[in-house]
A and B are shown apart, each in its own frame.
Chain A
Amino acid sequence: MPNPKRKMSKTRRDKRRTHYKAQVPSLSRCSNCGEIKLSHRACPNCGYYAGRSMFVPES
């Protein structure tokens, strides 16, 4: 079986991993209550989406 000739150095390994990043979620303001929310989802604070109340939040 063909195998790698050399051991991957720590530098090479770590350089590759510099591109493994967590992405920032795309946030927007709720058009009803102004809270920050995830886009394309109902607002967890007031339960509104696209000007329509989808659910009544607890409390």
Chain B
Amino acid sequence: MRHRVKGRKLKRTHSHRLATLRTLAVSLLRHKRIKTTVAKAKETRSFVEPIITKAKNDSVHARRYVAAQINDKDVVKELFNDVAVKVGDRPGGYTRIVKLGRRKGDAAELAILELVDYSDINLEKAKSKQAEKSEKQEEKKEKKKVEKKEEKVEEANVIEETTEKNETKAKKSAAKKKKDE
């Protein structure tokens, strides 16, 4: 029976699990939106939300308590100065999980985990990122096209050379034949 058994083990030892959750929490607070598996997203949610609640009360004690979990000074500062302000009076439920479907390689269910109060900013970021990506891809395509053209020219040269060689060979063999006769 698994009565009153909380949480997932995520196939990790206690220390490994704690480290995973902390890094996930740092990533979420830094980037405001992360993409992981559903299981990790749900575990991270129950790990970060109490920390954000703690950060609403700005005091030295609270800062030290949070800093013990979030091993990144800049992220702690941002959490207290920006995120806590933005969250405001929201009584918990600071994060949102949206399932995305299964990953190709291992069929793991993926999800987006984001801070609710940053959802608009997150989307804009994603849009600009996507635009950058498509631009890069186009550049790559153009480069490839140019390279292909160059290759073709080179290939043509090689073919010409080989044909010349063949001709000379043919001449030589013809000369030999004549000599034999």
Contact = CB atoms under 8 A, between A and B. Distances in A.
B99 A40 contact: yes
A52 B119 contact: yes
Contacts of B98: 41-42, 49, 54
Contacts of A28: none
A52 B29 CA distance: 21
Contacts of A38: 101
Interface in A23-59: 38, 40-42, 44, 49, 52-56, 58-59
B68 interface: no
Contacts of B99: 40-42
B84 interface: no
B101 A54 contact: no
B101 A53 contact: no
Contacts of B126: 55-56
Interface string B123-155: 100110010011000000000000000000000
A55 B170 CA distance: 65
B112 interface: yes
A54 B100 CA distance: 9
A58 B112 contact: no
Contacts of B133: 58
Contact of B100 (A42, A56, A59): A42
A38 B134 CA distance: 27
A54 B112 contact: yes
Contacts of B100: 41-42, 44, 54-55
A40 B98 CA distance: 8
Nearest to A41: B99
| Residue among A44, A49, A52, A56 with max Cβ neighbours from chain B (10 Å) | A56
Interface of B: 98-101, 112, 119, 123, 126-127, 130, 133-134
Sorted nearest first, the 5 A-B pairs with minimum C-beta distance are A56-B130, A41-B99, A54-B98, A49-B98, A41-B101
11 contacts: A41-B99, A41-B100, A42-B98, A42-B100, A42-B112, A44-B100, A44-B101, A54-B100, A54-B112, A54-B123, A55-B100
